Structure 1
Amino acid sequence: MRVCYFLLSAFAAYDEVALTTVANSKNEGLGHAIHTRGHGSLRVHAESMLGEDSGNDDDRMIDIKSAAVSTFQNLAKSGTQAVNKATTSVQLKLSSKSQKTTDNRFVSLDVGAVKSKLFESLKYQKWAESVTNAYKKNVEAGKLAMFSTLSAHYGDVALAKLLAEAQHVPKTRSVANLFEAIQLEKWLTEKKSTSQVFKLLHLDVDKGNLLKNPLVNTWVSYVDKIGKEDPYQILVRELTKRYGDDGLANVLVAAKADDTAQVIASKVVNAQLKSWLSSGVTIDDAFKLLQLNTVKKDDILKSPMLSAWMAYARMNKQDPNELLFSTLKSRFSDEEIIKMIVAARGDPKLWPSLGGLARMQLTSWQRADKSADDMFQLLKLRDGDEKPFDNPVFNTWVSYVTNLHQERTDEVIFSVMKKHYGEERLEKILGQATQSANTNSIALNLEKELWKSQGKTADDVFKALKLDKKGDNLFEDPAIRTWVYFVNKLNGDKKTPDEFAAISALEKHFDYVNLALLLGTAELQAKVKGETVEFVKTLTSLRNMQFKQWMVRKGFDPQRLQMALANRPFDKWNARISLDFSDFYKANGGLLIG
């Protein structure tokens, strides 16, 4: 029998550890010791017994193996003599006074009374400290002594549960990984099969969701340690036998929704997909086996199994987005698909992988030569309530119209809506929508189209918005933005637009100097009050428009403006107007004289 066979097999990656020397050694005692009490060829640092963290769950076996390799590298450097010395040391420990002291101290500190969070408990911490002190000259044997005591008291299953629990806590993960590795080595030297350990951990009689059982991870680690089978393929067979194909899908959905089971559930799903691929399961069959055909239509794009199906499509070298779109088209109406896409758009986890679906939908409508009116009816928007702008599907329709009529988007949208809602009803809808920050922009655009269709002039809309009643407070009213928006749109549609149309219209209501004073004051106050950026921009654009008009139409430069102001009654604000205009004049190519 080879000395330390189990020690070396536990860390197969370390081929360099004096295999020939160790293999020729004739000492069987160490193997017997580990078979009886466990395996301590792991971390040599005393703090491991006290629960210092060494990494996350994904790295737990890597942490243990790397530490063990370091330990055995040291032994290998010393050759056969060092190995034999370590062997003799471990052999003697089981009958040593230190082992008995370890057991007695465990009892006196009442460590065994702890049924959960063992390694976080003060009782365990005190016990671990005393063992560390007792085994200062042989820390490795101290670890084995602790495991021996824990295993004897709790038994395989209870101890495995405590270790699994501790592996989810950063400060106890290291010691849990250490003792789990010893436990796995113990089972290996006892020549337990994977099925025997499966039963030993009572996984064969678990009536709940097996993947949520923390001991499944322990079993997976053991199967990985043996290295002859894929543990996830075994789980697929076991779960399929237990739940059937339909039931398995439900188990996987539930497990993927559980934070503690997500990782193992994903690996089982991947193993299942590989099994299907080798068995020739079609993509459509996989859709049904994953029970995606039974998911409520509003939830299908949110299903945790959808990503598995899309992964299976990729395994079959198919474009998952195209297949998904084709599958949805065969099962649902355009309106239903859009609602699904809209629901997915609100989920930052889903949208990156499903964004292409919306583009495919819009493209398919264009290829089918669907008009804006066709899609309005197809999406049943005409059957909506008095707030169509709040309907997420409406935004999809607007996107389609924008792609279809980039130069006339507002005009086409208004035309279709007027056809289906009627002018009076649409006017009411637009009036409500302009009051909402979320729908204000598009509603203003359409309101302009409404006024244009009614043949209203800039002055008509000024009165309709009751701006003629505001007096000197005109530029404090948000409605001024609506009016300016309309005037600019109306003017832009003319063959010979007047770039100063809004200012010319305002000068019908205010003297040009008073208008400049009101605009300057309103702009300053809007900034101080923290008004919206859009509102401030409207006031700024009006002021700049007036100053440019003075330069182009009135022929003003700063000196001529001062002369004009000098002929008017004194006003302390005149100086402010003069300075502001001077700044604008210089910034826009004017040359100051004198």
Structure 2
Amino acid sequence: MKWIKYVEDLNKANPDKKTTLMSVLAKQYDSESLAKMMESAKDVPQWAKLVLQLETEQKWMAKGTPNDYFKQLKLDKVGKDVLRSTQLKTWLNYVKEYNAANPKYQATLIGTLAANYGEVKLVKMLDEAMKVKDTASAAKKLQSELFQRWIQLNWTPEYIFAKVLRLDQDGNKLFRNPLVTTWGKYLIAFNRDNYGKETTIWRMLAATGIDPDDLRPVADKAPEQFFAMMGLTDKGHNLLISPEFAKWIHYLDDFYDELRNSRKTMMTTLRNHYDDKSLVNMITSASKISKTKDIAKSVEFELFKTWHDVSYKTTDEIFTILNLDRAGSSLFTGPWLDTWI
């Protein structure tokens, strides 16, 4: 029984290299000897359950493990188009049956993808898939599962940064690398699940030997680069209700915590991509949703501050921007008149 527990513990510690009791025994004994051993053990009450498990594993071994079948279907060769492959559904159906029959050896898509493509290639594949309408939803779900996998493996943001994504080698070009956006998302996920062990971009960079002063020359461009890499340049009226926008604001606060003298407001970037009327409409939409009300208020404050301190907008210009010139009979009942006054 100690050996069985050892195999189970080994599988927990190495989820990408899981094995079964039967696969280990099959390497040590020929089929005839193994069959005789199992037949004899059936009559012993304490071994009956184990024999049943071994027989189930034996049946599935004949068809191959999920990873074997993944390769048989050549899904390990498809690359970035794996989520669009018609063979993937076949494999997922097989895994569903396999997992039901082998509760101790659960296979997952994210674990199988990582085992066959490696972490870095998988990150890039998911990033690409999130840009395609047909695969965006599935890719986002898999990215969340990937982050949970890293957390379960006790891979810290520092480890992911330096050992997995190799971002420590980018120097002052760090914020031009699209992988830094994925790493930033993981940082947020890690902090959310590790209360008391939270870290920040700058604390992490210091731990990996990067001097924040080396990044000051590119600090002004970083928010814009993050904004584009996160796909926020073409969200339209859905911008403020996008989860990615909330993460981008989080980046700004974290990023400029160290570089206070270089700080720019979120509005600098927003107005590079959206005109004021579009921003007003976004604020209106986000204000109607409870979970984005605070974001809407924050953006509204920044926009008004910009109108006053930067653009020097007149009251007549703001009246038009707020669409009050077209409000008609709803002028006194709409949401913006009080704001304009």
- TM-score w.r.t. structure 1 length? 0.33
- Residues in 1 aligned to 2:226 and 2:175: alpha-carbon distance in whole angstroms: 15
Instruction: Report what 1:123 is aligned to.
Output: 87
Check the 8 A contact 1:109/1:123 in 2, yes or no. Answer: yes
Aligned pairs (5 A) from 1:490-501: none
Check the 8 A contact 2:158/2:204 in 1, yes or no. Answer: no
Instruction: Report what 2:221 is aligned to.
Output: 247
Instruction: Report what 2:38 is aligned to.
Output: none
Aligned pairs (5 A) from 1:73-84: none
Q: How far did 1:218 drift?
A: 4.6
**3-state DSSP class of the match of 2:220?**
helix
- The CA deviation string for residues 31-55 of structure 1, in whole angstroms up to 9 with x for no partner, is 4213323499xxxxxxxxxxxxxxx
Q: How far did 1:249 drift?
A: 4.0
Instruction: Report what 2:68 is aligned to.
Output: 104
Check the 8 A contact 1:102/1:131 in 2, yes or no. Answer: yes
Check the 8 A contact 1:249/1:289 in 2, yes or no. Answer: no
Q: How far did 1:155 drift?
A: 0.8
Q: How far did 1:347 drift?
A: 12
Instruction: Report what 2:154 is aligned to.
Output: 191
Aligned pairs (5 A) from 1:6-85: 27=5, 29-38=7-16
Pair 1:323–1:32, CA change in 2 (3 A): same
Aligned counterpart in structure 1 of residue 117 of structure 2, from 138, 150, 154:
154
- The answer to whether 1:266 aligns with 2:246 is yes
More contact order relative to length (CA 8 Å, sep ≥ 6): 2
- TM-score w.r.t. structure 2 length? 0.51
- The CA deviation string for residues 396-444 of structure 1, in whole angstroms up to 9 with x for no partner, is xxxxxxxxxxxxxxxxxxxxxxxxxxxxxxxxxxxxxxxxxxxxxxxxx
- The CA deviation string for residues 264-303 of structure 1, in whole angstroms up to 9 with x for no partner, is 3433424645897x99x89xx97x555749979x956766
- Residues in 2 aligned to 1:268 and 1:131: alpha-carbon distance in whole angstroms: 36
Pair 1:347–1:160, CA change in 2 (3 A): farther
Instruction: Report what 1:332 is aligned to.
Output: 312
Pair 1:165–1:346, CA change in 2 (3 A): farther
Instruction: Give ranges in structure 1 of 5+ residues lacking alignment.
Output: 1-25, 41-84, 361-594
- The answer to whether 1:257 aligns with 2:233 is yes
Q: How far did 1:125 drift?
A: 1.8
Q: Rg larger in 1 or in 2? A: 1
Check the 8 A contact 1:235/1:268 in 2, yes or no. Answer: no
Q: How far did 1:121 drift?
A: 1.4
- Residues in 1 aligned to 2:323 and 2:119: alpha-carbon distance in whole angstroms: 48
- Residues in 1 aligned to 2:91 and 2:7: alpha-carbon distance in whole angstroms: 28
- The CA deviation string for residues 335-386 of structure 1, in whole angstroms up to 9 with x for no partner, is xx633552453999xx9876545x43xxxxxxxxxxxxxxxxxxxxxxxxxx
- Residues in 2 aligned to 1:294 and 1:189: alpha-carbon distance in whole angstroms: 36
- Residues in 1 aligned to 2:140 and 2:303: alpha-carbon distance in whole angstroms: 43
Code of the aligned partner of 2:15: R
- Residues in 1 aligned to 2:322 and 2:179: alpha-carbon distance in whole angstroms: 27
**3-state DSSP class of the match of 2:101?**
coil
Identity across matched positions, percent: 14
Aligned counterpart in structure 1 of residue 189 of structure 2, from 221, 230, 246:
221
- The CA deviation string for residues 107-142 of structure 1, in whole angstroms up to 9 with x for no partner, is 222111212242331122222333434444225624
Check the 8 A contact 1:150/1:159 in 2, yes or no. Answer: yes
- Residues in 2 aligned to 1:109 and 1:184: alpha-carbon distance in whole angstroms: 26
Check the 8 A contact 1:37/1:148 in 2, yes or no. Answer: yes
**3-state DSSP class of the match of 2:107?**
helix
Check the 8 A contact 2:113/2:122 in 1, yes or no. Answer: yes
**3-state DSSP class of the match of 1:113?**
coil
- Residues in 2 aligned to 1:271 and 1:325: alpha-carbon distance in whole angstroms: 24
- The CA deviation string for residues 195-218 of structure 1, in whole angstroms up to 9 with x for no partner, is 111331355546537499456435
- The CA deviation string for residues 160-180 of structure 1, in whole angstroms up to 9 with x for no partner, is 444556678788957974785
Code of the aligned partner of 1:269: I
Pair 1:356–1:28, CA change in 2 (3 A): farther
- Residues in 1 aligned to 2:111 and 2:301: alpha-carbon distance in whole angstroms: 55
- The answer to whether 1:234 aligns with 2:214 is no
Instruction: Give ranges in structure 2 of 5+ residues lacking alignment.
Output: 19-48, 206-210, 284-293
Q: How many residues align?
A: 263
Pair 1:121–1:294, CA change in 2 (3 A): closer
- Residues in 1 aligned to 2:76 and 2:270: alpha-carbon distance in whole angstroms: 49
Code of the aligned partner of 2:72: S
**3-state DSSP class of the match of 1:111?**
coil
Aligned counterpart in structure 1 of residue 176 of structure 2, from 205, 208, 212:
208
Instruction: Report what 1:503 is aligned to.
Output: none
Pair 1:327–1:135, CA change in 2 (3 A): closer
Pair 1:132–1:323, CA change in 2 (3 A): closer
Pair 1:347–1:133, CA change in 2 (3 A): farther
Check the 8 A contact 2:190/2:198 in 1, yes or no. Answer: no
Aligned pairs (5 A) from 1:512-591: none
**3-state DSSP class of the match of 2:105?**
helix
- Residues in 2 aligned to 1:153 and 1:30: alpha-carbon distance in whole angstroms: 22
**3-state DSSP class of the match of 2:155?**
coil
Check the 8 A contact 1:292/1:300 in 2, yes or no. Answer: no
Code of the aligned partner of 1:193: T
- The CA deviation string for residues 141-192 of structure 1, in whole angstroms up to 9 with x for no partner, is 2425x655433211112234445566787889579747853x4455345432
Check the 8 A contact 1:39/1:186 in 2, yes or no. Answer: no
Pair 1:185–1:210, CA change in 2 (3 A): closer
- Residues in 1 aligned to 2:116 and 2:91: alpha-carbon distance in whole angstroms: 14
Output the aligned Cα RMSD: 5.7
Instruction: Report what 2:41 is aligned to.
Output: none
- The CA deviation string for residues 423-473 of structure 1, in whole angstroms up to 9 with x for no partner, is xxxxxxxxxxxxxxxxxxxxxxxxxxxxxxxxxxxxxxxxxxxxxxxxxxx
- Residues in 1 aligned to 2:150 and 2:192: alpha-carbon distance in whole angstroms: 13
Code of the aligned partner of 2:309: T
